[in-house]
Amino acid sequence: MIGFSAVVNKTRQGPLLNSLDIDDSTLRWLFLLPSVAILAFLSIYPFLQGIWMSLHQWSLAGQGTQFVGLTNYATLLGESRFHGALVNTAVFTGVSVTVELILGVGLAIYLRSLSRRWRPVFRTIFIVPMIVTPIATGLMWRLMLNGQIGVMNYLLYLAGLPIPEWTSSPFMAMFTIIMIDVWQWTPLVIMIAFAGLLSIPDTLYEAARVDGAPRWAIFRHITLPGIKYMIAIAAVFRLMRSFRSFDIIWLVTQGGPGTSTEVLNIYLYRVAFVNLQGGKPPRSASSSWSSPSRPRWAS
């Protein structure tokens, strides 16, 4: 019992924390272990499992599995719908990220040109869209683009412009989801580029102005080099997220009409969870909301 009472005595001397004497080489792993274990379970295990599954004939509902080598890959690569999804992803990501970078850098330069009094106000406003829950973003735009009550259509009508079928033609559907993505994510580029702009010393601009440098020269030789690292970061972050886009596209077009906005994620989701699980084909989204019915004021 001596050992036991020693332990009791030791813990009585103060909080357990003080008596715990773990040396650094153990502690560093104790600190890391829970996080590493959880992340490994959530990323490495599914990744390996995914590779295993890709080499076997297998379905969510079925029982038996059979090794088939690279057949699944061959099937996938041969599928025209997969090719379509690749192209759609490239178009969606390429166009939206390019537009966001150009708009975002432009608006960041605009923010910097504002007086100290108004800068925080506009900066706060410019942050808001990137915080909005993407599903709510999709909801807002469907409300505004709706064939019957859409306020955007009304404004276009007032301006005497033709009212597009936002999601029923393949071209317009792609345009629409890119427009919404630009609304949601340009703010992120603005914020990153703006952080970069703040790090450029004012003296550089003053010197350039004293020398009488024209605006574009200031932009090309001071602004752009000063934020090119930030632009690269913004591009990487946008590309990473854009490849994973799902929510807005799913809510607005569900990949339709047909498969014209079916990016890789939508395709994967349909193959993995919609087609196999319930067997029910996905509802055609475009028919559910912007059906070709003409707006009331335009008749």
Question: Does residue 60 touch other proteins according to CB under 8 A?
Answer: yes
Burial grade of 80 (CB within 10 A; 0-12, 13-18, 19 or more) = exposed
Burial grade of 187 (CB within 10 A; 0-12, 13-18, 19 or more) = buried
Residues 233-292 that bind other proteins (CB under 8 A): 233, 237, 240, 243-244, 246-247, 250-251, 265, 268-269, 272-273, 283, 288-289
DSSP-based three-state secondary structure for 253: coil
Among 47, 67, 73, 219, binds other proteins (CB under 8 A): 47
DSSP-based three-state secondary structure for 56: strand
Residues 2-31 that bind other proteins (CB under 8 A): 17-18, 20-22, 24-25, 27-31
Question: Does residue 175 touch other proteins according to CB under 8 A?
Answer: no
Among 8, 39, 76, 207, binds other proteins (CB under 8 A): 39
Question: Does residue 202 touch other proteins according to CB under 8 A?
Answer: no
Question: Does residue 219 touch other proteins according to CB under 8 A?
Answer: no
Question: Does residue 76 touch other proteins according to CB under 8 A?
Answer: no
The answer to whether the beta carbons of residues 92 and 178 sit under 8 Å apart is yes
Rounded Cα–Cα distance for residues 105 and 192 (Å): 9
Question: Does residue 297 touch other proteins according to CB under 8 A?
Answer: yes
Question: Does residue 166 touch other proteins according to CB under 8 A?
Answer: no
Among 6, 7, 32, 87, binds other proteins (CB under 8 A): 32
Question: Does residue 185 touch other proteins according to CB under 8 A?
Answer: no
Rounded Cα–Cα distance for residues 85 and 74 (Å): 16
Rounded Cα–Cα distance for residues 274 and 296 (Å): 36
Question: Does residue 207 touch other proteins according to CB under 8 A?
Answer: no
Any idea what the Cα angle at residue 205 is, between residues 203 and 211, rounded to 5°? Answer: 100
